[in-house]
Amino acid sequence: MAIFEGSGVALATPFYENGEINYDVLKDLVEEQIAGGTDCIVACGTTAEASTMTHEEHIEVIRFVCEVVNKRIPVVAGTGSNCTETAIYLSQEAEKAGADGILVVSPYYNKATQKGLIRHFTAVADSVKIPVLLYNIPGRTGVNIEPETIVYLCKNVENIVGVKEASGNFSKIASLMSMAEGCVDVYSGNDDQIVPLMALGGKGVISVLANIAPKQTHHICQSYLDGDVQTSAKLQLQAIPLVNELFCEVNPIPVKAAMNLMGKKTGPMRLPLTDMEPENQEKLKKQMEAYGLL
């Protein structure tokens, strides 16, 4: 059984101006997502700026989100690292904190071989009992988790159940789905490709867009799951101009700018990320207005 179906939000982390985590706002963001129909919360993913958190902060955010959610919807914790021992440590701590699953990105910078990826993911999965989602995002990591590798892992490691696919390569994704024969739960990692991926058998999305449009993102997925493909496709296409602006600079710069424009008080970025360029923020604002968010 899938960890979730539908719209999972890759939740942004709010910071005070001094860079400390704003847990009061984080609680509000979690409650807003649940009220908006979001089907799963992903804590400490890319959008959360987890790569600039200390291990203590990383674990505390996961614990806090799990506590606030209180099993109302699943919580998946991002616990990936380019160090296998670190990924194991974070995964075990996420399990202790109450996470319903973990999301483990392929090791970045090291650029492991497929054999190395198999050993890495197997070691992490074997260290916990909760379900594991792989995270394939070669644009950030420099390596693609090949379809054969994903299928092998899902067939041979009991608690590796699926993948967040952000490669954008639909030929590879189609090959994966063909080989998987239903043993791999696939989620779109790209907000402009939710419906196409679900058409191949995907379970939904792990979304950046949902940070500012939880109801709309949920509706895209739920319409498809309900068999109303026409409505789902229409909603997907309506979101494309806004999604394009949400990725005109590296994520999560634009989405945090959007959240601040909506009064969500998510605060600044942590270095090395910086505030959005004014001209890009103006374009983003116009698309938010056109989408009905401002």
Identify the residue whose tokens are 């923020």: 281
- Assigned token pair, 253: 């710069």
Residue 164 falls in the annotated catalytic set: yes
Active site residue 135: yes
Q: Exactly one of 16, 108, 109, 135 is catalytic; which is it?
A: 135
**Of 89, 152, 164, 264, which residue is the catalytic one?**
164
Q: Which residues are catalytic?
A: 135, 164
